[in-house]
Structure 1
Amino acid sequence: MSTQAPHRTSTIGATLFLAIFAAYFLVPIWWLLMAATKTRSDLINSPGLWVADSVRLFGNISDLLERDGGVYARWMFNSLLYAGAGAAFGTLFATMAGYALAKYAFTGRDITFNTVLAGVLVPATALALPLFLMFSRVGAVDTYWSVLLPSMVSPFGVYLARIYAAASVPEEILEAARLDGSSEVRTFFTVSTRLMAPALVTIFLFQFVAVWNNFFLPLVMLQDQDLYPVTLGLYIWNSQITQDPTLQMLVITGALLSILPLILAFIGLQRYWRSGLAAGAVK
C-alpha cells in the first residue's frame, strides 16, 4: 500500500500536468474553430468557446476564397511551395551534410560542425536584412527564389542528422556495402537514409513548420502580394481591419484554414516516425 500510493499520486500529477499543457495549446485552436463559425456580430456579442445559433463556417470560407479575386488560395499555394520545397531540399541537404560530418574524417570537420552549431544559435530575424542585401545585389528580391533559397538551409537539421547518423548507421554496414562494390552515393541513398528515416521525418517536419510560420523573411523580401505566403497575407489583412471591419472574419477563417496543412503533415508522417523508432529499438 505504501509503495502504490506514491506511484498513484505521481501518475495523477503527471496526467494533470499534461492535461493543463494540452489545454493550453488546444484551447486557442478550439476558439479559432468556434470563431470561424460565427458572423462578426455574433463574435462581438458572444466571443465564447461555443458555436452561435447560426453556423456560418462555409459562408465565411466562401467569402474568404472570393476576396480580391481569390488571392487567399494563391497565398496558400505559395506557402505550400515555400514550405514543401524548402523542407524537402532542406532535409536532403541537411541529411547529406550531417551524414558526411558523422561518417567521414576530413580536415576541418570539427570546425565545420562548430560553425553549424553557431548557425543554430543565430535567430532567423537577424539574417533577414543581410539576405535582403545579398538578393538585391543579384536582382532576386520580390521573387520566389528570395524566400525559397534561404528556406533550404537548416543548421539544426544538419546537427540532428549528424547526431542520428553517428548513432544509427553502424560502420559495419557501410564496410559491407563497400565490399559489395556499392558506391558512397548509392550506399547513402539505399542504406543510410533508411536507417536514418526517423531523423529525416523529424528534420522535414521541423523545417516545414519553420518555413510555413516564417513571417519576417517574406515581409522583408516580397512586395508583390501574389508572392505572399499565407502568414504575410493574413498580417496585411489584419492591419487593415480598422479601415475594413469585414476583414476580421476573413482573417479568423484564414488562420483556421492555414493550420490544416500542418495538422495533415503531422498526421500523415507520424506513422513513418513511429515505425522508424520501433525499428531502431528492435535493432
Structure 2
Amino acid sequence: MTNVLLTAPTTRTRPTRPRLRVRRSSHARPTRSVLLTVLTALVGVYALVPLVWLLINATKTQPDLFSSFGLWFSGDFALWDNVVGVLTYDDGVFGRWFLNTLLYVVLGAGGATLLALLGGYGLAKFDFPGKRAVFAVVIGAVAVPGTALAVPTFLMFANLGLTNTPWSVIIPSLISPFGLYLMWTFATEAVPDEIIEAARIDGAGEARTFFQVCLPMMAPGIVTVLLFTVVATWNNYFLPLIMLRDPDWYPLTLGLNAWNAQATTAGGEAIFNLVIAGSLLTILPLVVAFLLLQRYWQSGLAAGSVKE
C-alpha cells in the first residue's frame, strides 16, 4: 500500500516593490504675497494713469482743458477735430516731423540692430586676441549715459560740418552698446556650437551658415534689440536738440516741444490741445509695435535666464 503524501500547493509571491510616496512640494503652487500684489498694482497705476490722462484730454478743446477735471471727459468730444488740427496746423508740418522720425528710426535703429547682430554673433562664436578687452569696453560703454557723450559728439560733428543735417542724428544712433551686449549673450545661448560645426562640415560657408542656420535661431533676440533701439531713437530728444536748428529736420519730440513753447513766446499761440493730440499720435506706433512683437520680445529677454 503506497502512502500518498498530500502537500499544499505552493503559491509564488511576487516581490513587493517599495512604494514611492510623492510628496507635494510646498513650492508647486505659487504663493501669493499681498505686499507684492499691492506694489505691482501701484506700479501699474503709475504707468497707466499718464496714458489715460493723455487719451482723455486729447478729446477736449482748448478751453475745456482748463475748465474740466483732468481724468474725465468734458462736454464736447473733439478728438477728431484735434487730430485734423494736428495734421493741418502750420501747413502740415507734423507730417514732415513724422517722416523725419521714421527716417531716423529706419536708418538709425535699423542700422544699430544690424551692427549689434553682426558684432554680437562674432563676439559669441569666434575667438580672437583681445576678446576680453572688447568685453570690458562694451560693458563700460553700457554704463556711460548717452547725455554724457552728447557734447563731445556735437563738437566732433561740428568740426566735420555735419551739424544741422540728418546724419548728425542717424550716425550716433548706429551705436548701441546695450544692444551689442544683449545680442552677444543671446547668440551665446541660442546658437549651439555643434550646429555651426555641422554646417561647416556639410560645406556651408560662414555667410550661408549665418544667414540660413543661425539667423532664424536669433530672431527673438533681434526683435528685442530692435524694439529697444526703436524706442530709444523714436523718443530721442537731447541729441536732436543740440544737433538740429532747422525745424524742417525736427523729429516729433522737438516739434511737439516747439508747439508747446509757443505759449511762452511773445505773440505766440497756445495750442495745448494740439500738443496733447499730437503726443497721442506719436505714441501710437510704439504701442502697436509692442503689441505685435510682444511674444518675441518676452522670449528674447528670457534667453539665457535658465541654464540647462
Q: Do they fold alike, i.e. is TM over 0.5?
A: yes
Matched, 1:247 2:239: no
Q: TM-score, normalising length from structure 1?
A: 0.91
Cα distance in 2 between the residues matched to 1:63 and 1:70: 9
Instruction: Describe the superposition over 1:66-104 as per-residue Cα deviations: whole angstroms up to 9, x where unpaired.
Output: 111111111111111112322211111001111111111
| 1:53-68 to 2 correspondences below 5 Å | 53-68=75-90
Q: Considering Cα pairs closer than 8 Å and 6+ residues apart, tell me whether 1 or 2 has the greater RCO.
A: 1
- What residue is the counterpart of 1:145 in the other structure? 167
Which of residues 207, 213, 228 in structure 1 aligns to 2:250?
A: 228
- Determine the C-alpha separation between the residues in 1 that align with 2:173 and 2:53: 31
Q: 1:277 to 1:128 in 2, by over 3 A?
A: closer
| Partner residue in 2 for 1:84 | 106
Q: Secondary structure at the match of 2:95?
A: helix
Match of 1:269 in 2: 293
Aligned-residue sequence identity (percent) comes to 51
**Runs of 5+ in structure 1 lacking a partner?**
none
Q: Say whether 1:22 aligns with 2:75.
A: no
Deviates more, 1:8-17 or 1:77-86: 8-17
2:284 partner letter: L
Aligned partners of 2:171, 2:52: CA distance in 1, in Å? 35
Residue 196 of structure 1 corresponds to 218
Distance 2:99 2:243 in 1: 18
- Equivalent residue letter for 2:93: V
Which residue among 122, 134, 139 is the counterpart of 2:144? 122
State the Cα distance separating 1:277 from its structure 2 match. 8.3
Deviation at 1:8, TM superposition (A): 8.7
- Call closer, same or farther: CA 1:277–1:234 in 2, change over 3 Å: closer
For residues 54 and 184 of structure 1, the distance between their equivalents in structure 2, rounded to whole angstroms, comes to 63
Deviation digits for residues 186-217 of structure 1 (CA, Å, limit 9, x no counterpart): 21122212111111111000000011111010
Task: Answer yes or no: is 1:45 the counterpart of 2:82.
Answer: no
Q: Quickly say closer, same or farther: Cα 1:100–1:279, change in 2 above 3 A.
A: closer
- The alpha-carbon deviation at position 51 of structure 1 amounts to 1.3
**RMSD of the alignment, in Å?**
2.3
Runs (4 or more) in structure 1 with deviation over 3 Å come to 11-16, 271-281
Report if the CA contact (8 A) 2:224-2:300 is conserved.
no
- 1:273 Cα offset (Å): 3.8
Secondary structure of the 2:293 match is: helix
Determine if the alignment matches structure 1 residue 94 to structure 2 residue 116: yes
In the superposition, the TM-score normalised over structure 2's length comes to: 0.84
- Give the match's secondary structure for 1:132: helix
Whether the aligned pair in 2 keeps the contact of 1:94 and 1:158 (CA below 8 Å) is yes
Maintained 8 Å contact 2:110/2:226:
yes
* Deviation string, structure 1 residues 240-277 (Cα, Å, up to 9, x no partner): 22243532111111111110111011112124446778
State how many pairs are aligned.
278
Q: Say which structure is richer in helix.
A: 1
Secondary structure, aligned partner of 1:69:
coil
**Residues 130-167 of structure 1, C-alpha deviation per residue, up to 9 Å, x if partnerless?**
11122222221111111011111110011011111111
Equivalent position amino acid for 2:276 in 1? I
